[in-house]
Structure 1
Amino acid sequence: MTLFDGITARLVETDRLGVNILERDHDDPATPADRTVVLIHGNVSSSLFWQELMEDLPSDLRVIAIDLRGFGGSEHLPVDATRGLRDFSDDVHATLTTLGIDGPHLVGWSMGGGVAMQYAIDHPVRSLTLQAPVSPYGFGGTRRDGSRLTNDDAGCGGGGANPDFVQRLTDGDTSADAPTSPRSVLRSSYVNPDYATEHEDVWVASMLTTSTAEGNYPGDSAASEHWPGFAAGTRGVLNTMAPRYFNASSIVDLDPKPPVLWVRGTADAIVSDASFFDLNHLGALGVIPGWPGEEVAPAQPMISQTRDVLDTYRERGGDVTELVMEGVGHSPHLERPAEFRRALLTRIGYIGLAQHPAPPTEAIIISSSD
């Protein structure tokens, strides 16, 4: 019931693990890589979230959505967070190698945007589309220039997960009875509250595929002498984005540089300069007591960091377009599917700007090197 018409799932056995992928029934496996689009989901989700986009993309493209380890139908192997997001990106590479795909167009959402950036650092890609991506400096615990606030990344990683949310994932809770239920989190944080869809049960089912076994979501933590009293651990999903383990700012040094599309919504509750998932921001709001102040524990300016890195990417010869969607939350591809589809097709060179209408006023191209 979670697969849309024309979408099929299969397990790809790689030399690292078994990886579940979604494909379209009519796609030709012989399609060249320059007409192949690979979709990478974010945290607490799976490839199921991509199905509307998969249905809407032109039939002469090959489109593949990959489940990261510990999500969807892929094996639930533990995640070594000390490698940053490389366990995930190496799994993606192993999958594409097994499928005989070299240098596709890569699309990453949220944490998947960080996976896509890491993949591009390690392997050639034809283009890079980053939707509401994690900052190139990780999640939490950094100043605008990427420098770390503490030497142990206090307030970052697995210790920051809400234990009731984790328990409800484990229990398979499909209700909206509490603000920490997956369905409630979807409505409040993944999308703008005005978003409505007939597929909500599918999106919730996708969230509930998240493994909460040891070494998967959320991950371990360590005691810290710094506020709020814990620091990033070494295993599990949330620790992969701690700044001591993940830093993709070296993307500015790529040669050649794949063209980049950065898509984001102005109402994103997760990735912003004032994220409601950043404990330092919650401390400043008084939600978490004992906050030591702006000088010691400032909120991470995630959007500003990404723009700074991509501005440098552009200055060093890269082609970057930033597309901002007014009033959109963390999931532009769900909330404004036609606009996201148009921007993606333009970015991968399938259509040119002259061949397609300009984005509506709600979707504004901030900057472009085209």
Structure 2
Amino acid sequence: MSDRQPSPQRSDRPGRGKPADPAAAWLARCDRGLSAAEQLEFNRWRRDPANARRLAELEGPFAALDRAARLRPADGSRPDEDLLRPKALPHSRRKFWMASGLAAAAAIAILWLPFSGSHRADTTAAGRGIVVRHAPERLALPDGSVVELKPGTRVETDFTGDQRRLRLAAGDAHFTVANDPTRPFIVTAGHVTVRAVGTAFTISASTAAVEVVVTEGRVRVDDAAGHNLIKPVAVTASETVASGAVHHPPALDAGQRVVIPIGPGPLAPVPITAATPEIIDRTTGWRSVWLEFGDMPLAHVVHEFNQHAAEHQQPMLLTADEPTGRVLVSGTFRADGVDAFVRLLCSSFGIDATRQADGRLALHKMN
């Protein structure tokens, strides 16, 4: 089993994570993920050279180990030694090769279709059973943005002092973009370019099509020549006055998507469609943690679900007695799908569930 997490829990290190040290507090917050407002606040705080130096001191060897393990230059197999040295430079140009699983303040999904892959897996033997945890890894970019990559996805980054560029070679990626209006965040997938006007997005791409799904914020979608690929939405004069705003050129807002077919000819503008909850789940479901069990006693299965639930404020489970805990379970389940898992137990395993006063679901085998 590999116990390696996407990044070390800095708040657990001795002498770190104390409220008196803002840098340590920021490291802990970055580990668990920043909201859009926090990202903006973090960027402002880090612009102070003294704060940047203190942050680099605390990251120390842990940051170097993370970079060495996860980042490779686009043109070679050996890590760039410069990546192992903490830096606080106004102009940071790097190329990273990122693979395996990784997720933005406005949320955009760009997808190469079709694409298949599997999450990074950690396997554990527990008694007579096996559990495999499939989960994407989160990777922090130099500007404070976060990328999640579906396994098999390749992304190269090229950051300068005035822009942040990434190239998605293939696969699915979700970007949490640190808000910095002075440095556009631009992702290229084939001949499609997505520019974050807001703060986050997800991309999925293949040789057949590029799908862009926005869950928060706003993005522009252009071809390689800068021509907009979104068909304008016809509105009446009264609708324009009522809305108080017109997008020039058209942009994708939260809850919208476009699918751009890739063919031998030039790309053509496509209409905007709604990003329904089902579509969002389809395009971003790979970001969830999945638990795969093989003849695992229910007591151990409950423990695995509860570990995830404790981190995400979700319903906890318990086994009411030893016979229930010995029931063997096999299958693959979303770690955040407790309700669906319990329904399956009730329908297929002869298990009943009772809500306790403390909110936990007590599982017991029916006679």
Same fold (TM over 0.5): no
TM-score, reference length from structure 2 = 0.26
Higher relative contact order (CA 8 A, sep 6+): 1
Higher helix share: 1
Higher strand share: 2
Larger Rg: 2
TM-score, reference length from structure 1 = 0.25
